[in-house]
Amino acid sequence: MTRIFSRSEKLVIASHNPGKVSEIRALLKPLRIDVVGADELGLIEPEETGKTFTENAELKARLAAEASGLPALSDDSGMAVSALGGAPGIYSARWAGPKKDFSAAIKRVNDALLMTGSSDRSCSFICVLSLAWPDGHIESFEGRVSGTAVFPPRGSHGFGYDPIFQPTGYDLTFGEMVPQDKHAMSHRAHAFSQLLEQCLIPA
């Protein structure tokens, strides 16, 4: 049975990515849940050894819940480009290298696309949110948003691959949109609405 999060508990955001942490904080803000970041608790950033977004999200949430003794919410996400067979996918952060250089990661996507000779620029952003409790119970939810990979990158809002992601039906990239507009339609928002409905709103 789905477990409901008790709003009186403190919730750890099990991420060391400042872009994700600020988006998750914004999504949680209206719920007035007391949140604390993994960095603030001095939690280490685990190695992502999973083969899927769900495996990685669950691994991060479980470790943070065990280490902190508090429920922990993690996010594993990335950009999947059709003509690249779904790459960078779960390796989206790793394509930016140890210096987390997303201009380099974006160039790598463009170079890889040019190498394929394909004109298909369809892609999606995928996000799995996992909520784990210290006793090992876990709930996971996946959200997706489809779009087109555009070059050159446009806009300076958001983070990661936002400047090259233009959601289907829109003329602006996530990098050009004001944060509220991205938050209303993103992969993270879709995963969050399921989490909200099933675990955060008391029955």
Q: Which of 78, 143, 147, 153 binds ligand IMP (CB under 6 A)?
A: 78
Tell me if 92 contacts ligand IMP by CB under 6 A: yes
Nearer to ligand IMP, 70 or 188 (CB): 188
- Report the phi/psi class of residue 104: left, alpha or beta, with left for phi > 0 and alpha for psi in -120 to 50: alpha
The size of the interface with ligand IMP (CB under 6 A), counted in residues, is 17
Q: Is 76 a catalytic residue?
A: yes
Q: Say how far residue 140 (Cα) sits from the centre of its chain.
A: 13
Nearer to ligand IMP, 142 or 162 (CB): 162
By beta-carbon distance, which residue lies closest to ligand IMP?
160
Edge-to-edge strand list for the sheet holding 122-132:
35-37, 11-13, 72-81, 122-132, 138-149, 165-167
What is the smallest separation between the CB atom of 99 and ligand IMP, expressed in angstroms? 13
Tell me if 161 contacts ligand IMP by CB under 6 A: yes
Tell me if 176 contacts ligand IMP by CB under 6 A: no
Rg value, the chain, Cα: 17
Nearer to ligand IMP, 3 or 35 (CB): 35
Q: Kindly give the interhelix angle for 18-28 and 187-195, rounded to the nearest 10 degrees.
A: 40
What is the smallest separation between the CB atom of 8 and ligand IMP, expressed in angstroms? 29
Tell me if 159 contacts ligand IMP by CB under 6 A: yes
What is the smallest separation between the CB atom of 203 and ligand IMP, expressed in angstroms? 30
Nearer to ligand IMP, 18 or 69 (CB): 18
Question: Residues 194, 12, 135, CA angle at the centre, nearest 5°?
Answer: 80
Task: Find the catalytic residue in 76, 111, 135, 162.
Answer: 76
What sign for the dihedral angle of Cα 167, 126, 151, 183? positive
On the question of a cis peptide bond just before residue 152, with omega within 30 degrees of 0, the verdict is: yes
User: Is 123 strand, coil or helix?
Assistant: strand
The residues annotated with a catalytic role in the active site are 76
